[in-house]
Amino acid sequence: MKLGVLTGGGDCPGLNAAIRAVVRRAVSLNIGIDGILEGWKGLLTSHFRPLDIASVSGILPMGGTILGTTRINPLKTPEMKRKVIENFRRSPLDGVLAIGGEGTMRVSYAFHKAGIPTIGIPKTIDNDLWGTDVTIGFDTAVQIATDAIDRLHTTAESHHRVMIVEVMGRHTGWIAACAGIAGGGDAILIPEVPFSLNHLIRLLKQRASRGKNFSIIVVSEDARLYEGVGRKKKILKTPTKKDEYGDIKLGGIGMLLARELQKRTSFEIRVTELGHVQRGGTPTAYDRILATRLGVEAVNLAHSGKFGRMVGIQGNKIISLPLQQVVKKIKTVDPAFYKLAEVFFG
């Protein structure tokens, strides 16, 4: 048996740990393994690289991906799809292990139905994949955002400022909610829970009246903010530029929020957009362990011929489920979890 492994979509810490786990488990089962370079693009161009124990030695703590990644969508045109299938058939591969997020899982499922046996390994700092409690990269991103909030606290307090921290997460607020709770955010704005600007201002004033002359607002990049209750007027407009998968390119909400707050209050405001810092650097121990467990399980599944599935973690158990189920919806922040965060607002 020979498998191909690829990393697709945005990178994140823990990808190399997953690649290492896949290779080490494959070698132990006498399965040959090729790296498919730069995500699905590698199958479009037949760009493979044989992997062995030596090629993954020392990569466990490294951020990024030794295979490279792109956001190329191979389903964009029928020609691209055909080319990938043709190249796979001509290759020595019996299956593909795709380490990726929502877009990669959608593509994996489509190709699985088209005759390329695939198995998904979930990674994304956004943690929005259905069917797994946690995705590779999320824990590290939350830690990075929490560290940033801790640092912003001290300078916010010295200068009596309102600090807005914009975090990534696409259409879900997992990073904002978790880093906001861990870092003691005074308000956390996430896409799942529309927030009123008037309420936000009330919270800031409430803090000031308690003698707290600084505040930290954690805002997720796709948060919804409205003028008041009744949600009549949306204050922050969503950007419209899209990537290859048709996903909106987000970013910049922190500045917009600052502008609106500045118009209505006298607080001194500063904005930090954490951006791709959240995707860089060495993975946490949790991410390394998760990546290792998921990588090994993906190869185990392939070895027993169970393709068309994604591995995941539920509770502390490694599980797998059909890709068909995974691609149906995204995993949003549990309202009860957000309620917990709200206890500490203001």
Which H helix or E strand runs over 78? helix 78-90
126 is catalytic: yes
Q: Of the two residues 245 and 337, which places its CB atom closer to ligand F6P in the complex?
A: 245
Task: Break the chain down into helix, strand, coil percent, rounded to 5.
Answer: 40, 20, 40
Shortest Cβ 145–ligand F6P spacing (Å) = 11
Give dist(CA 188, CA 144) in Å, integer: 17
Shortest Cβ 20–ligand F6P spacing (Å) = 22
Q: Do residues 148 and 272 lie in contact, with contact meaning Cβ atoms separated by under 8 Å?
A: yes
54-70: buried (b, 16+ CB within 10 Å) or exposed (e) per residue? Answer: ebbeebbebbbbbbbbb
Q: Do residues 81 and 114 lie in contact, with contact meaning Cβ atoms separated by under 8 Å?
A: yes
Beta bridge partners of 236: none
Q: What are phi and psi of 17, to 5 degrees?
A: -60, -40
Q: Which of 126, 128, 139, 287 is catalytic?
A: 126
Give dist(CA 285, CA 118) in Å, integer: 28
Q: Of the two residues 52 and 243, which places its CB atom closer to ligand F6P in the complex?
A: 243
Shortest Cβ 254–ligand F6P spacing (Å) = 13
Q: Do residues 120 and 229 lie in contact, with contact meaning Cβ atoms separated by under 8 Å?
A: no
Interface residues with ligand F6P (CB under 6 A) are: 10, 71, 101, 124-126, 168-170, 221, 243, 250, 279
Q: Of the two residues 128 and 297, which places its CB atom closer to ligand F6P in the complex?
A: 128
Give dist(CA 176, CA 137) in Å, integer: 15
Shortest Cβ 248–ligand F6P spacing (Å) = 8
Integer Rg of the chain from CA:
22
Q: Of the two residues 16 and 215, which places its CB atom closer to ligand F6P in the complex?
A: 16
Which H helix or E strand runs over 121? strand 118-122
Give dist(CA 61, CA 81) in Å, integer: 34
Residue 169, both tokens: 């997460």
Give dist(CA 177, CA 124) in Å, integer: 16
Residue nearest to ligand F6P (CB): 168
Alpha-carbon torsion, ordered 137, 224, 247, 147, to 10 deg: -20
Q: What are phi and psi of 290, to 5 degrees?
A: -60, -45
Q: Of the two residues 87 and 127, which places its CB atom closer to ligand F6P in the complex?
A: 127
Q: Of the two residues 117 and 120, which places its CB atom closer to ligand F6P in the complex?
A: 120
List residues with catalytic annotation. 126
